[in-house]
Structure 1
Amino acid sequence: MVVMSMTQISPLESHLGYWLRFVSNQVSHAFRRKVASQGVTVAEWVVLRELYDEEQLVPSAIAERLGMTRGAISKLVDRLEAKTLVSRSAGKTDRRFQAVALTEAGRRLVPVLAALADQNDAEFFGHLDQSERTTIERVMRDIVRRQGLRAVPVD
């Protein structure tokens, strides 16, 4: 019979990652419900917001900016086009070239979704003073930078 020595095992609650995930799950779930009430997913919202400040973008530029694959962007654009929130236009000389732009409906929806994002932030973080918010954001940005994280959170 093998006897194993008992080592001290840290409790879940002692890990910062546990608390980050705990909060993140709740924030994400609440936001997912809010944007779903407007007929879009969080990933679709991210693409719509990226397009809002641009006249048009090529899918590869959207993918690069969001740290997503071109295939994932293509599927998102397909869904958004089916919802008449974006349109695609082919190039004049190269029909394979496509640019994506918000439709009027998409342009009207983005501020509504942005207000929901602001509301969600206020519900979870509104009790924090500016110093606390700044510290949390600075630390999170530092982790993103140090880890070389690129993919925008969409789920």
Structure 2
Amino acid sequence: MPLSPSQRLASIDDLLLYRLGRLSSVAGTMVVRLCEGGYGITRREWAVVAQLYENGSLPPSALAERMHRDRARTSRTLTSLGQKQLVLRTIPANDRRSALVSLTLEGRQLYEALMPQIQAINGHILKALQPEEAAQFDEALERLQARAQTLLTELSPDLPKANRRQGQRGKDAS
């Protein structure tokens, strides 16, 4: 029996992360077009709206952690959503240092209009799998996510830090 691409790993086209990235890019294009063309928000803004709708008010740092995003990028996204009047920042009177972010009525309405459409896109993609295959795929994704998180924790101290602002590569870049 020939090896599967995930077992072969002979080229970039065989790598799991590359293959998942391609799937996300193709499928995500439909979501981007729907979000940006239909509702005037980015996919990143949509993710924040969905998290706040499903989890209620959150401190920005907890939101960033929940989404596996850095705080600065999350803050910029929240600022943009605030300008669009989709989120509201409130500062509790008893702790002026901690802010909470929640959806406005417009933000909740946006979620309620957009979520069924995004669910439909996901449903159409998953029609490629039989119900038992979809369940196995979900289980495999959960195991892969857990394994990746474990590896990140184990390998993080040994991996070089990214310096995206300077466009530098590795330790030799000066």
CA RMSD of aligned residues (A): 2.2
Quick one: structure 1 residues 92 and 33, their matched pair in 2 at CA, closer, same or farther if it must change by over 3 Å? same
Alignment correspondent of 1:53:
54
Alignment correspondent of 1:99:
100
Alignment of 1:6-45 (within 5 A): 10=10, 15=14, 17=16, 18-36=18-36, 37-45=38-46
Quick one: structure 1 residues 21 and 68, their matched pair in 2 at CA, closer, same or farther if it must change by over 3 Å? closer
Quote the Cα distance in structure 1 between the aligned partners of 2:139 and 2:55. 27
Quick one: structure 1 residues 79 and 138, their matched pair in 2 at CA, closer, same or farther if it must change by over 3 Å? same
SS at match of 2:39: coil
Alignment correspondent of 2:160:
none
When normalised by structure 2's length, the TM-score is: 0.71
Shift of 1:54: 3.9
Task: Tell me which of the two structures has the higher relative contact order, counting C-alpha pairs closer than 8 angstroms and 6 or more residues apart.
Answer: 1
Q: Structure 2: which 5+ residue stretches go unaligned?
A: 1-8, 153-174
Quote the Cα distance in structure 2 between the aligned partners of 1:134 and 1:102. 32
The one-letter amino acid of 2:122's match is D
Deviates more, 1:61-70 or 1:121-130: 121-130
Alignment correspondent of 1:65:
66
Shift of 1:124: 1.6
Count the aligned residue pairs. Answer: 141
CA contact (8 A) 1:35 1:116 kept: no
Quote the Cα distance in structure 1 between the aligned partners of 2:11 and 2:96. 58
Alignment of 1:122-141 (within 5 A): 122-141=123-142
Alignment correspondent of 1:113:
114
Alignment correspondent of 1:147:
148
Alignment correspondent of 1:85:
86
1:56-107 per-position Cα deviation (integer Å, ceiling 9, x unaligned) = 2111111121122221111111000000001111221443432111100001
Compare the two structures and name the one with the higher helix fraction. Answer: 2
1:120-140 per-position Cα deviation (integer Å, ceiling 9, x unaligned) = 112322242211111111112
Quote the Cα distance in structure 1 between the aligned partners of 2:143 and 2:85. 38
When normalised by structure 1's length, the TM-score is: 0.79
